[in-house]
Amino acid sequence: MNNEILKELKRLNLLFVDDNKLITDLGKSLFSEIFNSISIASNGEEALDLLKNKSFDIVITDINMPKMDGFELVRHIKKNYPEILVVFLSAFFDTDTLLKAIELDVDGFLLKPFDLDKFFSTMYNILYYKLELQKQIHLLQQYKHIVDDSLIVSKTDLKGNITYVNDAFADISGFTREELIGKPHNIVRHPDMKKEVFKELWETILNKKTWKGLIKNRKKNGEAYYVESVVKPIFDRDGNIKEFIALRKDVTNFINAEKLINDKLQVLNEALLILIKIDNFSNIKLVYDEDTITKLKTRLTKRVKNLLKEHFGNIEEYSVQDDMFGFLIENFQKENLHNIMQDIVKNVLNHPIIINGFEYYPLIKISYAYGKIHLYENAITGFDEIENTEERVILANGLCAKKKIEILKNMETLKLIKYAIRNNKVISLFQPIVNNKDNTIAKYESLIRIIDHENNLLTPYHFLEIAKKAGLYGSLTLKVLDNTFKTYNEKHVPISINLSPSDILIESIRNYIYELLEKYKPEKGMITFELLEDEIIKIQHTISDFIKNVTKLNADVAIDDFGSGYSNFTRIIEAKASIIKIDGVLIKNIDKDKTKRDIVESIVNFAKKENKQTVAEFVENKEIYETIKSLGVDYSQGYYFSKPIPADQIKSGL
């Protein structure tokens, strides 16, 4: 990150707006060392009240909020506080949302959950040009000389007719000076630019003020280019406006690649878009310095471009993301495309890039699409499709439509989750866990369900992943905790509760768990927290502290889904868990699979030596039950004994 940008962030005051307290808690924790100050608002109305009483430089706001949503808030900010930078924060950005955001002139976008690398990248893009533009304005105010070869310069008369252009203006526009002088400045106006922008520009400069903004222009050949512009009136000795001068910086290469590609496609009949993604780029950044990474990417891009030139004619190159670059090709044959892409992947891997005497073997994936529309969206979506496969190349035609349908479905699920949270439709069912020695119920596991508008009971399969991605998982956890401890207090039976590391990461949730344990003072063995085995390693230190604290308050800890693919017996020791829940993958068909029996037997033997109890999940029939019982598993859970039941069906005491 540029030091100047970091220093700029440290001077700025942030207003963070979101109706989810868990999100604002996490945001406050993440941003506390980045900005000068952070203020929190839970909706648009609260944000406007804060804006009246305090000066802010940046507003990061959610979109869907009660009382006043993010769109309405941004309208107020842009109208009354135009100097403030605004960034939208959301779990999903569909087409309608992006169009509304563009109309509101939002400065940037962030996705939930927070990704600090993407956050810094967004802030860099926003602030870099803000600082550069401020420097140019300062030079203008100090009557410095304007250097023609560093800026795109033009002057117009009071009617907007061009009276002067420098070489840079002619070069980027594709027109000659003779074609420009005397013509209205809208000769380079792009049809995408709204009339309201230029209306505001003229109102500003005719009021003897300086106008600043991003403008999309059109070259003589129809291609688009983007300029960060400053337009200022020039006065005569009496203070009357004599003419106007416009200073511009070409920012086309820094504009979102999707915009550039789509702009280019407007002047093409058909094209082939090829995106190349570098695998494990985050690991590469940990090993190499920035200079080496730049060399790697430059040489890799050149290598792929040369390989493509063997098959295609004119090729335009685009930098898409840190780990991705792309090429747009106008003249191509559809036949044999897939084989060409596969050959490129093999060629790149088999011919290392040598830097500083070391050989680097690039591993890449290719997503390509051809046609006229949605090329970029399709190609980007292609990487999602092959993320968890062994494939290295995918034809992505039509995938964005599929993705949009999925997003719409996710949005409906998100609405359902919010409805359930706000209307007390998040409930807990309880599934018995049976002691294998005497077939008696030893405890119950609390299992989350939500009730939809038609009173259907939905399992976590339908909503849990979306809740995690949207930052609502913590809100569901709080509901489950309330349900579970209420049931414990009424029935006084042992109960286990599932927790995710993302829950434990949030301090307010940890503290709430401690409060509940202090309030209800459970006896030893009455409350158990189940932690997923494959996620414990991600936040080992926080997990360890959490386990110590709840253990002091008489709660037990179980490792859930042990044996799911990341198993490490030392992790059980490090976590100090007293219970091991064996993953259902190992239990299903264990009566017919000797390998599964051997694995479970080794887990049981280890547990007994470490004085830990074992629980088998997904015990669906008598044969499975008899098998795991013969292996020495202590407890069983599954439909062979009982499906999950409502709290009112639990018999008090055990």
Annotate 459-519 with three-state secondary structure. CHHHCHHHHHHCCCHHHHHHHHHHHHHHHHHHHCCCEEEEECHHHHHCHHHHHHHHHHHHH
Q: What is the pLDDT of residues 207-233, one digit of tens each?
A: 999 998 888 898 998 888 888 899 999
Yes or no: say if 512 and 499 are a contact pair by the CB < 8 Å rule.
no
Compute the C-alpha angle 594/595/599, nearest 5°: 115
Packing angle of the helix pair 375-385, 399-422 (nearest 10 deg): 70
Least confident of 153-167, 239-253, 378-392, 524-538: 524-538
pLDDT at 356 over 80: no
What pLDDT was estimated at residue 122?
A: 73
Indicate the SS3 state at residue 532. Answer: strand
Handedness of CA 203, 206, 209, 211 (dihedral sign): positive
Q: Which two tokens stand for residue 226?
A: 């983007």
What integer best gives the mean pLDDT of the chain? 85
Rounded mean pLDDT, 468-474: 84
Return d(Cα 542, Cα 544) in angstroms, integer.
5
Yes or no: say if 531 and 575 are a contact pair by the CB < 8 Å rule.
yes
What pLDDT was estimated at residue 23?
A: 84
Q: What is the CA radius of gyration of the chain?
A: 30
What pLDDT was estimated at residue 254?
A: 64
Residue 395 φ/ψ, nearest 5 degrees: -85, 120
Judge residue 26's burial from the number of C-beta atoms within 10 Å of its C-beta, 0-12 exposed, 13-18 middle, 19 or more buried.
buried
pLDDT at 62 over 50: yes
Judge residue 560's burial from the number of C-beta atoms within 10 Å of its C-beta, 0-12 exposed, 13-18 middle, 19 or more buried.
buried
| DSSP-derived pairing of the beta strands 324-329 and 271-278 | antiparallel
What pLDDT was estimated at residue 402?
A: 82
pLDDT at 305 over 80: yes
pLDDT at 345 over 90: yes
Place of tokens 């600090």: 116
Domains of the chain: 3-127 (3.40.50.2300), 152-254 (3.30.450.20), 261-397 (3.30.70.270), 408-649 (3.20.20.450)
Compute the C-alpha angle 114/116/121, nearest 5°: 115
pLDDT at 94 over 70: no
Indicate the SS3 state at residue 267. Answer: coil
Cα distances (Å, whole numbers) of residue 586 to 49, 237, 596, 598, 643:
56, 88, 6, 10, 20
Smallest CA-to-CA distance from 332 within 313, 358, 319, 346 is with 313
Least confident of 67-76, 251-260, 302-311: 251-260
**What is the model's pTM?**
0.54
Smallest CA-to-CA distance from 48 within 38, 37, 59 is with 59
Judge residue 21's burial from the number of C-beta atoms within 10 Å of its C-beta, 0-12 exposed, 13-18 middle, 19 or more buried.
middle
Packing angle of the helix pair 290-309, 337-350 (nearest 10 deg): 140
- Model confidence band, residue 2 (pLDDT cutoffs 50, 70, 90): low
What pLDDT was estimated at residue 566?
A: 45
